Amino acid sequence: MSVPSSLKGFDVDAAVERMLGQTELWWAAVGLFVQHFADWEGQWLAARGDDAQECKKVHALRSAAANVGANKLSCAAAVLEELIVMRLAGKSVLIPPSIRWYVQDCFREVWSSASEAGVRHSVLLDKAG
């Protein structure tokens, strides 16, 4: 099964290439991303105020986003993660609200795109099978 030529928020070609050109592996990773991060935003919002917990949530998102080719989201999460890590190291760092808003916006875009693409992919598989 082929991959979409473009998917909002994703560099699909680079992600598939990292997966040795195995498109089904990329689709599986996207499916896991959608499944595992369906409630990420709520968990992340609940973790705010606890730097250690928020850092874990943001780190997981950064890593998973990079894996599926959601580079903009991964980079945004990396910036937030770095600021939180600095706070955990005892530095007095203010995190501008705009960074969190940007991570949230990027997450919503990527999760929505991945979810819709996964549904279309499943429908195509069902028709082919």
For domain 12-128, say whether CATH 1.10.10 is its number: no
Q: Which string of DSSP letters, residue by residue, matches the chain?
A: ----S--TT--HHHHHHHTTT-HHHHHHHHHHHHHHTTTHHHHHHHHTT-HHHHHHHHHHHHHHHHHHT-HHHHHHHHHHHHHHHHHHTT------HHHHHHHHHHHHHHHHHHHHHHHHHHHHHHHH-
Domain definitions of the chain by residue range: 12-128
The DSSP line for 21-46 is T-HHHHHHHHHHHHHHTTTHHHHHHH
pLDDT tens digits, one per residue of 44-58: 999 999 999 999 999
Please write the tens of the pLDDT for every residue from 85-121: 999 999 999 999 999 999 999 999 999 999 988 766 6
Q: Which of 36, 29, 54 is nearest to 104 (CA)?
A: 54
Confidence of residue 9 (pLDDT cuts 50, 70, 90): confident
- Is 31:68 a contact under the CB 8 Å cutoff? no
Higher pLDDT, 24 or 75: 75
Q: How much of the chain exceeds pLDDT 70, in percent?
A: 88
pTM over 0.85: yes
